[in-house]
Chains A and B, each alone.
Chain A
């Protein structure tokens, strides 16, 4: 008990207390008129029937379904390429893919915002130099893909490192045995490496699920460039932020935060259960 107490203290103050406080806040309603009232679960029933919140949730779910597989696929390919030992300049390759992760998300979004700019952005300047008409990447139909591109750029390297580290822990004897059996690099990747990455991939997937539901910085920065596209409820986090800080609805936004946390936990747990079942089926 003595040895875990530093952890427990930090956990209690830094994690449990804010969560409990948010849950407590979510049971009240304080309006600009009328003071603070205990309303029980009213804020939760409001959240369940709040179309604005649902639009945001559906949007991040679509984002999750498309962006995460693409990003993890690229991270997996990069990790396998690194681990194959056949790359020249492997260290440069590794750091090159990882570096975007070191760029703060807000800076990355600003930078990409300039690149996407419909008239003087880099993409359009190249397009007009080559006389290729390009779509407006900050328009309704392209915005989610544009945001997905930014997050993929940011986080592929991070996921690659997790997968690469897992690959390094595969016993070398397995590869030797495979080579004796006549397996090439591709066969080794499919039959040994990818199965060995199962747990690491699960970890990356769960991080990415959490990240997708928490989507905030990128759309928030791009909103200045496309206010008519990115609404205040574009993602659930943006919705909660606007309610809390422009609308002073701290109580309702606390309820949204709790709901969002719950949805994220359920989805992440479902993925984990599903993976475990797959594993058992093998």
Chain B
């Protein structure tokens, strides 16, 4: 099941150890508080937040970030009246199932829940999470990157605080490229040419693999190609167009590579796949900026052989990127302590202290103050042979194409990805036809659910 694979990603990705010693040097993170208590306090976006934080309250927080207790402890130390119970209720779809059930049942749901960006619109639409505008969320907008904020500012409200992001990046084997006299591709045309050269030099080697079960990965590639296949056009109407120009760019290039067997159609995150990654079978991996931790821990033997570069461009000289993965923290509609829950979520993700702590436990930041800080940008990565990888990630974060949206039922849409695109990737058949099949499945489900679905 998708969850198994995904959860292994999330587990590994959250073991990231990007940078440890950022915390206290960063102070200018956020809009200053109106409550006037010395330190910058994003939580106190109004007196109600300050009141809530001073009232003894116990909150429940569902998240699958393993070491997040560290950050929560810092919060509890600062606001001793609030006690936060951290609960791991499963990862991704497993958590959403429980969350939806608990909200429907009216009891057992947490106050704050981690929800990935692709799933947030669904919770927002059904009002299972709270519009944080009423708790002053709008004032925190300037603290976040535009690409992160765009993913929580939905349907006319603000339904979560960005917890981490995954700007798309190219991780490549410098040794392999060097041995073939190649440099890292800067355009997709160069990528395709290199794919042929790498496979010709050794028929068991490929430039990269493509995962037939990873809808998020393909979404990111379409996003980076300028596609906007999923649009919410009204409260009950959506537009699904997996034939737009971005989707077409994606499908024609990857169909060609797959049909010539120049990329390897293999599910990621399996033992087989990691062994191939470690053995040099794949010369690169295009993934979110959360990837370094997984690489460092799983294939430590390749330390120093990897480099980081921007994603190849469709037009030479352009600088366009996309997001891959990432989560928000949302306040659940059944919470009886919404003000305190909103203040906690705000502090966790917006405050300099919270953001730095999240980064230290392995999450790639969503706040601009951290992304622009010199401590962060100048950090060297031994795994990437001393490269200052955060500079590439931060640049990618700034270059994310605007206007991407997920459907208010993307969880289901992604689940049936493997039934169409997954099959085509595995068989090396026409991806454009498969995108059409996926579009039909997504549209039929939408109609069934009461949406007006257009395909324009």
Question: Which of A33, A221, A233: most chain B Cβ within 10 A?
Answer: A33
Within 8 A of A (CB), among B428-456: 445, 448-451
Q: Is B402 an interface residue (CB 8 A)?
A: no
Q: Is the CB of A118 within 8 A of B272?
A: yes
Query: Which residues of the partner chain B approach A18 to less than 8 Å between Cβ atoms?
Result: none
Asked if A248 is at the interface (CB within 8 A of a chain B CB), the reply is yes
| CB-CB nearest 4 A-B residue pairs | A227-B213, A228-B426, A33-B450, A228-B212
Query: Which of A117, A118, A224 interacts with B4 by CB under 8 Å?
Result: A224
Q: How would you classify the secondary structure of chain B's contact residues: helix, strand, loop or mixed?
A: helix
Contact A227 B450 (CB under 8 A): no
Chain A residues near B415 (CB-CB < 8 A): 232, 242, 246-247
| Inter-chain contact A226/B408, CB cutoff 8 Å | no
B93–A245 touching, CB < 8 Å: yes
Q: Determine if A32 and B409 form an interchain contact, defined as CB atoms under 8 angstroms apart.
A: yes
A121 vs B126: C-alpha distance when bound (angstroms): 45
Please pick, from B5, B424, B451, the residue contacting A32 in the complex, using a CB distance under 8 A: B451
Verify if A11 is at the interface (C-beta below 8 Å from B).
no
A114 in contact (CB, < 8 A) = yes
Contacts of B412 in A (CB 8 A): 246-248
B426, A229: Cβ atoms closer than 8 Å: yes
**B82-101: which have CB < 8 Å to A?**
93, 97, 100
User: In the complex where A33-B450, A224-B4, A227-B2 touch, is A246 in contact with B276 (Cβ < 8 A)?
Assistant: no
A228 & B272 in contact (Cβ 8 Å cutoff)? no
Q: How many cross-chain pairs have Cβ atoms below 8 Å apart between A and B?
A: 99
Mark interface residues in A87-120 (1 if CB within 8 Å of B CB, else 0).
0000000000000000000000000001001111
Q: For chain A, which range describes its interface: under 10, 10 to 19, 20 to 34, or 35 or more residues?
A: 20 to 34
Looking across the interface, which residue of chain B has its beta carbon closest to that of A231?
A: B419
Would you give 12 A-B contacts (Cβ < 8 Å), ordered by A?
Answer: A32-B408, A34-B236, A120-B271, A224-B2, A224-B270, A225-B267, A225-B272, A228-B418, A232-B418, A246-B93, A246-B415, A247-B409
- Whether A225 lies near B270 (C-beta < 8 A) is yes
- A219-240 residues with Cβ-Cβ distance < 8 A to B are 220-221, 223-233
Q: Bound complex: CA of A247 vs CA of B419, how far in Å? A: 15
Instruction: Name the interface residues of A163-220: CB closer than 8 Å to any CB of B.
Output: 220
* A31 CB-CB contact with B under 8 Å: yes
List, in ascending order, chain B residues with CB within 8 A of A118's CB: 272
Asked if B423 and A117 make an inter-chain contact with CB atoms under 8 angstroms apart, the answer reads no
A83 within 8 A of B: no
Given contacts A31-B448, A245-B93, 8 further A-B contacts (CB under 8 A): A223-B4, A224-B1, A224-B267, A227-B214, A227-B418, A228-B213, A231-B419, A232-B418
**Per-position 1/0 for B388-416, Cβ under 8 A of A:** 00000000000000000000110110011
A221 near B411 with CB under 8 A, answer: no
B422 at the binding interface (Cβ < 8 Å)? yes
Minimal beta-carbon separation of A119 from chain B (angstroms): 5
Q: Is B427 an interface residue (CB 8 A)?
A: yes
B265 at the A interface (CB under 8 A): yes
Are A228 and B450 CB-contacts (below 8 A) given A114-B271, A221-B4? no
Most buried by B among A31, A32, A231: A32
Residues of A within 8 A of B236 (CB): 33-34
Q: Could you tell me the distance between the alpha carbons of A249 and B213 in the complex, rounded to whole angstroms?
A: 22
A224 with B93: CB separation less than 8 A: no
**Distance (whole angstroms) from the CB of B289 to the closest CB of chain A:** 24
Given A33-B236, A34-B450, answer yes or no on A226-B267 (Cβ-Cβ < 8 Å): yes
Is there contact, CB below 8 Å, between B448 and A249?
A: yes
Given contacts A231-B418, A231-B419, A245-B97, contact A32 B449 (CB under 8 A): yes
- Give the residue of B1, B122, B409, B419 whose beta carbon is less than 8 angstroms from that of A233: B419
Cβ contacts under 8 Å, A33 to chain B: 236, 449-451
Residues in A with CB closer than 8 Å to B213 are 223-224, 227-228
Is A228 a contact of B449 with CB atoms below 8 Å? no
Cβ of B11 < 8 Å from any Cβ of A?
A: no
B6 and chain A: residue at smallest CB distance: A224
Neighbouring B residues of A121 by C-beta, 8 Å:
272
Answer yes or no: B275 CB below 8 A from chain A CBs: yes
| Interface 1/0 per residue, A246-274 and B, CB below 8 Å | 11110000000000000000000000000
Interface string of B270-290 (1 = CB under 8 A from A): 111001100000000000000
Q: How far apart sit A151 and B267, CA to CA, in the bound complex (Å)?
A: 24
B275 contact set on A, CB distance < 8 A: 119-120
Task: Give the distance in Å from the alpha carbon of A121 to the alpha carbon of B275 in the complex.
Answer: 11
Please tell me if B116 contacts chain A, counting CB pairs below 8 Å: no
Q: Which residue of A lies closest to B7 (CB)?
A: A224
* Contact indicator A117/B425 (Cβ below 8 Å): no
B270 touches A117 (CB 8 A): yes
Contact check, B445 vs A247: say whether CB atoms are below 8 A apart: yes
| B residues in contact with A233, CB < 8 Å | 419
**A140 contacts across to B, CB distance below 8 A:** 426-427
Give B419 Cβ to nearest chain A Cβ, in Å: 4
In the assembled complex, the CB of A101 is this many whole angstroms from the nearest CB of chain B, namely 23
B211 interface hit (Cβ, 8 Å)? yes
Instruction: Chain A residues near B451: list those with CB within 8 A.
Output: 32-33
The answer on a CB contact under 8 Å between B4 and A227 is: no
Q: Please determine whether B425 and A228 come into contact, CB atoms closer than 8 angstroms.
A: yes
Measured between alpha carbons, how far is A33 from B237 in the docked complex, in Å? 10
Across the interface, which residues of A come within 8 angstroms of B425, CB to CB? 228
Task: State whether A117 and B271 are in contact (beta carbons under 8 Å apart), knowing that A228-B265, A229-B426 are contacts in the complex.
Answer: yes
Contact B450 A32 (CB under 8 A): yes
- Bound-state Cα–Cα, A111 to B100, Å: 32
Instruction: Give CA–CA (A221, B2) in the complex, Å.
Output: 9
Write out the residue numbers on chain B whose beta carbons fall within 8 Å of the beta carbon of A246.
93, 411-412, 415
A227 touches B100 (CB 8 A): no
- Chain B residues within an 8 Å CB radius of A114: 271
Residues of B within 8 A of A245 (CB): 93, 97
Looking at the assembled complex, report how far the CB atom of A113 sits from the nearest CB atom of chain B, in whole angstroms. Answer: 9
